[in-house]
Amino acid sequence: MKNLVLALVLLAASFAWTNNATTAMMNAEYEYAACNVQFAKDFVAMRENCALLHDVPMMDSADYIADIDEALGDVEHAARDGNQPEFGGAMWDLRARMLSLGLAVLGDTFANKSVAFGNCVREDGEPIKDALETCRHEAMRAGKDAATEYVGNEIEYGNSQIAELDAMGADTMGMARAVGYGEELKADMGPAFDSGDEKEVSDLYQRHSRILLLFRLEKMISVMDYAEPIIGAGNNRNKERLLEDIADLKGDTEDLASDCAYSTSVDANYGLKNLECWNEGLALMGRFNSLQAVYWGGI
């Protein structure tokens, strides 16, 4: 019974554990996003100036910019607080609003514009693009260091959790598999950041989010597998309810782990799937916490 209590404590601790590099990593990603936002604002202002110079109509971008500024503020706030779920949602919202502005600008490009206007945008756009690349380069450099430290910390912590559960006799194969994904991700970080390719770096973050969730799900499964026979052989007053709840929760957790399987191939739907998986995963973690309350109440 002592080992069961320790397993429950370990799982609760894993939900609460904070990576020392969390704030640095999210701040670096925020800085990169801020580079893109500043470019968008400078580009829109430049187009408006070219429109005035060459007397052509121009879209009203004020609402788009206000929305983007608000979304970037949400990203900054989440990064400062080290709130990963909130940060992921805010980043998704920011990308959506940036895309909305981009599509609007694209549509406006063909709305009664002159050749002179087009030439003005091309010429005046070059220094803005140069400033963007410089900004991105600095953010990438900070991001590479922070992300490498962050994943390294996670791997070290994950291995320590596996070792402790292994010592109790729990099955940690799923957890070890997730840590293996983390090792693979860490090896891919240097080349991705050094490439300067925004998509490659974004793909890393999406893959990382999936791995982090899967490790937590697999650890819940390991603890529940370990707990079932101990509870079944014990005399906890809530034993029958516990066993029923564990069976239901474990089945749902295994289903989610399968539905949110890890892949190194990141398509357009990967990020949205991550949000869905995390929403469901957090609900399962809440159910596990409730299960613990039932266990302690029956002692």
Domain interval for residue 266: 2-297
pLDDT in tens, 103-122: 999 999 988 899 999 999 99
User: 123-181: per-residue pLDDT in tens?
Assistant: 999 999 999 999 988 888 888 888 899 999 999 999 999 998 898 888 999 999 999 99
Sign of the four-CA dihedral 174, 180, 181, 186: positive
Q: Which residues of 69-83 are buried (b: 16+ CB within 10 A; e: fewer)?
A: eebbebbbebbeebe
Is-contact 64 100, C-beta < 8 A? yes
Reported in sequence order, the residue ranges of 163-268 that DSSP labels E, i.e. its strands, are none
Category of 8 on φ-ψ map: left (φ > 0), alpha (ψ -120 to 50) or beta = alpha
How many domains does the structure of the chain reveal?
1
Please measure the distance between the N-terminal and C-terminal CA atoms of the chain and give it in whole angstroms.
11
pTM: 0.74
